[in-house]
Structure 1
Amino acid sequence: MPSAKLPRAVFAMDPVHLPLLFPPPLLARLRRTAELDPAHVVRDFTDRTAAPYLAGAEVLITGWGCPRIDARTLTAAPRLRAVLHAAGSVRALVGEAVWERGVTVSSAAGANALPVAEYTLAMILLAGKDVFTQRERFRATHVRPSPAETATIGNVGRSVGIVGASRVGRRLLELLRPHDFEVLLHDPYVGAEEAAALGAELLPLEDLLRRGDIVSLHAPDIPETRHMLDRPRLALIRDGGVLINTARGALVDHEALTEELVSGRLHAVLDVTEPEPLPAESPLYTLPNVLLTPHLAGSLGNELERLGRVVVEELERLTAGLPPAHEVRYADLGRVA
């Protein structure tokens, strides 16, 4: 999209996110790259006030809260050439008409993967030290555990199973490298040689569940992965094993998982659930073997600027006539988040 004049861009998202995505220095850099009105943020493409902005828009800068971009939107935005998403998945955002027109779509999902991978690494290390059980014990007894009571604690040689070599899964594999873990991987799109290059042993899912002390989910939420951890597969995880889910709640049969957790056989770190949030009466809020967090592994607070920076860099590339560095391709939608 090289041009002598600046392309016209429009923000489309919940405006509450805008100040953190594009703080003043980054917004100034964005405005040197595109003609846009930061005071106008579209939340409804059918709103009359949005019409003049969409009519001239060559770029939509989207984020959480953006309405779906469909054929009607494209009719209102005949000059649209690029959608730059300052968040993760575009699956629910971009309609078929966008791909049919050949609009370039880019996402900051890669940047959003880093805090999720960091969160997961932290939980793996804490789980290996049995921090959650020991916290509850210490609260109740105020007594340090004996060496015999901590004999099975530690992260040396512990088996960590990664389900899904997604963006998050791959970042996590990078972060695991300096640690002394046995790393296992399941992903139907990865071969043994590639898995070895990622630092992991490739296994069928059932074998990974049997061997992993800690199992961490990083697969996309697609029809093929719904309840991939059902009751029989959850039963394969060894007694005392830890399940970490920072992907999507739909990957796990929640009823079966709840039964396992209530029994005390498994431990879990759950940043996502099904439904989300859980009903107030769910036992998972108070079980000592469950750490439940409110979908905070992804970018929050000052981490949002990283997503905005990706968008600015993508727009700079497009205006210079270069291809986007983080393009989303229609052919990949069937297997990515």
Structure 2
Amino acid sequence: MSADHSGSARPLAWLPMPPEEIGELPGQLEYACWNGEAEFPTDPARCVFYAVPYLKGHEVSVRPLPLMPRLKVVQSLMAGVDDFLPALASLPPGTRLCNARGLHDASTAELALTLVLAALRDIPGFVRAQDAGEWRQEFRPALADKSVLIVGYGSIGAAIEDRLVPFECARVVRVARSPRTTARGPVHPVTDLPELLPDADVVILSTPLTPQTRGLVDAAFLARMKDGALLVNVARGPVVDTEALLAELGSGRLRAALDVTDPEPLPPGHPLWTAPGALVTPHVGGPSSAFTPRAKALLRDQLARFALDEPLRNVVATVD
């Protein structure tokens, strides 16, 4: 660990990118850049605001936490913070954990729509045909006139619906933990899923991973889906029971397009790689060119709020 000889009395924030690249930041704070390197840039005991490195893995992300007794804020750059929840018990009382709600909406919604279209129109099959130099004209289903069910209607779910609008879907049905009414129509409770699943041609999962959603898509859930339906997962891998899904894929009754899997990363030789009707991408819903400008905007806003002692956005947990 590098020694800290700054002597600064200002509160210290650790950021995963150089502060000068983020834009105008409040002068009440001091800044250091740490993006998961082996050496820490300053004494972590001085850090009060920790913005977690992005896509560096759980072990790297939590490594400095036991050395941060003055910590007040942990700012994740991920929409899901399930990996961080077990670490909360070791943090100082009052520490707030904030997620990145809104940051990944555009990128993840784009990928969800990409997976839907690629799976329905069998783009992987056409790519394999191109690799083989074969001209294969085949009839494939369109997204137009399909019924789409979005399970997990938060900001990402709403962004997915935004992108579905021009595609002339027969209808879009919304499900979330908390039922409500939106400008586009009702959001159904999760308890309505048994009645809604049989009518859906496409089921898109965009729910956070919680004790309630872990294993939500089990054998009973999948059995309620109509023959030939497509399951798209841009949520978290453990929302789906992998063995139950493999059974349905193996029978040819359902198809799936998965950006997240359980286990993850998906190891070589895992049956999901070669399952009939499965399209797999390696958890790339968030990392795109849309990430950096939105991450910088989120950090600017949160740091300004923190410096002025204003309420932070996206607080998902506070240490007792």
TM (norm. structure 1) is 0.75
Deviation, structure 1 residue 207: 2.1
Whether contact under 8 Å (2:105, 2:156) holds in the other structure is yes
Q: How far is 1:292 from its partner? A: 0.8
RMSD: 3.3
* CA pair 111-233 structure 1, distance change in 2 beyond 3 A: same
* Residue 31 of structure 1, CA deviation: 7.7
Q: Partners of 1:157 and 1:66 in 2: how far apart? A: 44
Q: How does 1:184-195 map to 2 (within 5 A)?
A: 184-191=173-180, 193-194=181-182
Unaligned 5+ segments in structure 2 are 1-8, 55-59
- 1:86 alignment partner, one of 62, 72, 77: 77
Paired residues for 1:128-277 under 5 Å? 128-132=120-124, 142-145=135-138, 149=139, 153-181=141-169, 182-191=171-180, 193-194=181-182, 197-199=183-185, 202=188, 204-277=192-265
Q: Aligned to 2:31, which of 6, 30, 36?
A: 36
The structure whose residues are more often strand, as a share, is 2
Distance 2:287 2:293 in 1: 9
Query: In the comparison of the two structures, how many residue pairs are matched?
Result: 301
With a CA cutoff of 8 Å and minimum separation of 6, indicate the structure with the bigger relative contact order.
1
The alpha-carbon deviation at position 213 of structure 1 amounts to 0.3
Q: Is there any run of 5+ residues in structure 1 with no aligned partner, and where?
A: 12-17, 332-337
**Cα shift readout 1:87-130 (whole Å, capped 9, x = no counterpart):** 33334325445787223433323202331121102222344445
1:169 is displaced (CA, Å) by: 1.6
Contact 2:12 2:48 survives alignment (8 Å): yes
Change (3 A) 1:177 1:252: same
Q: Which moved more, 1:315-324 or 1:128-137?
A: 128-137
Secondary structure of 2:30's counterpart equals: coil
Paired amino acid for 1:35: E
Please report the TM-score for the alignment, with normalisation by the length of structure 2. Answer: 0.78
Matches of 1:217 and 1:25, distance apart in 2 = 34
Superimposed CA distance per residue, residues 4-53 of structure 1 (whole angstroms, 9 cap, x where no aligned partner): x8532234xxxxxx4xx558532x53485631233x56778xx9x78x62
- Per-residue CA deviations over 1:244-268 (Å, capped at 9, x if unaligned) read 0111121122112112112222111
Distance 1:137 1:66, change over 3 A: closer
TM-superposition CA deviations, 1:180-221 (whole Å, max 9, x none) = 221112223113x34xx3445637111222111001112222
